[in-house]
A and B are shown apart, each in its own frame.
Chain A
Amino acid sequence: MHQMPLARPVRPQSRFAPAPSLLAGVWLTGVAVAWLAVTRSQLAQAGMDDVLEAAGGAAAPSLGFLTFTSVLGRFFALSMEALFYSVWWRSLGARFRWGRFLVTIASLSLIDAWAETLQGLVRDNAPSLAAWLAPVLGLGLLRDRGVAGEPAWTMAFASLGLATAVRVTLTARAQAREIGRGIGLPLLLTAGVWFLSRVAVWWAMDLARGMSPLP
């Protein structure tokens, strides 16, 4: 009896095939460029360009260098965040793709970039709208820049608002999709991590400034 030739074994599709990884790289580069623009604008608004120019000398870093290192630090933090969730869910036996999740949360960080850009625009061009837009863009919009005596917790929780809530929820949803479970536990974990990270920022800022007022 003629035996049917065995079909060639179907090679399981790579979870991160070359083409998607190339696309992911291009996309991440785009996200980094967006953050470079936002960070440079923020540093200029904070008067860092004037300060650096007045500082002069070879020891003073350029605005471009500060911007670059700031964005590099942000991407390092995003990588650590993705690694944390990856280790957390894998330790509970779930499947979790670190690379894919990193691309997701880097993309979601653009919500922060958008909110921070709009905050700057509202401050400079429409301060009368600040109180109305603060619940959406972040409560930091209610705080004036450069006012002495502001407690550190108001700066640490400055991003609290609808935009952050959306980012936290979408981060939790991405985890739920990765692990194939409901959104409940991922949402609890993500919100908890966000809250604890803000508290840590608050305490670290207090330790860094001592009795000095915050800039």
Chain B
Amino acid sequence: MLALYGLWHRDRSKTWDEPRWSAGEFVPLRAASLEGARELWLIPVNPRCPHCRGHLAHAAAALKRGAGARLGILLVDTPQPPAASAFASVAVDGLWWDARETWRRRWGHRVYGEVLVFDAAGRYMRTMPPGFDGAVPGLGAAP
């Protein structure tokens, strides 16, 4: 219990960077123009995670593209990005590889399939958990 407390206390007292969308921070694998977008929904996906595609499909269904939001995948916790063909069939606006492990090491996030929402200027707005339910702020109800 003491060891667990030590780990927990160190982790919770660490100062993490607030997420911020900056295209230069990540390696683009599929070109995506965010021009004119009101929001970017960025979903961290581990290529080996069997549930991630399900969470991706859920977020894609919840997202109303007409509302000006774009959907992007951030490939995390992978030393090499998978072949572009691996995500060719997934209907997203952009695909990036987190080569510097920003999502885990600087932002302190750890749950695959969550949805990080940024505004048009790249400012962090909120994070929704995987398989989120209920109303999506500004976009209405999730399926």
Which A residues fall within an 8 A CB radius of B? 46-47, 50-57, 59-61, 144-148, 196, 199-200, 203-204, 206-215
Contact = CB atoms under 8 A, between A and B. Distances in A.
Interface string B87-124: 00000000000000000100111110010000000000
Contact of B133 (A52, A146, A196): A146
A46 B131 contact: yes
Contacts of A54: 53-54, 56-58
B134 A204 contact: no
Contacts of A46: 131
A146 B107 CA distance: 21
A203 B5 CA distance: 7
Classify chain B's interface size: 20 to 34
B129 A148 contact: yes
Given A55-B51, A148-B126, A206-B11, A211 B16 contact: yes
A59 B7 CA distance: 32
A53 B56 CA distance: 12
A43 B102 CA distance: 32
B4 A203 contact: yes
B110 A52 contact: no
Most buried by B among A146, A147, A208: A146
B51 A51 contact: yes
B131 A146 contact: yes
B50 A59 contact: yes
A206 B56 CA distance: 23
Interface of B: 1, 4-5, 7-8, 11-12, 16, 48, 50-58, 104, 107-111, 114, 126-134
B129 A210 contact: no
A207 B11 contact: yes
B128 to A, nearest CB: 5
Contacts of A206: 8, 11-12
B132 to A, nearest CB: 5
Contacts of A212: 109-111, 114, 127, 129
B109 to A, nearest CB: 5
Nearest to B104: A210
Given A46-B131, A211-B107, A203 B50 contact: no
Given A56-B53, A59-B48, A208-B111, 5 more contacts: A55-B51, A61-B50, A207-B7, A207-B11, A212-B109
Contacts of B131: 46-47, 51, 146, 215
Given A51-B131, A148-B129, A200-B4, A210 B54 contact: no
Contacts of A60: 50-51, 54
B129 A208 contact: no
A208 to B, nearest CB: 6
Contacts of B52: 55
Contacts of A148: 126-129, 132
Given A145-B133, A210-B109, A212-B127, A51 B55 contact: yes
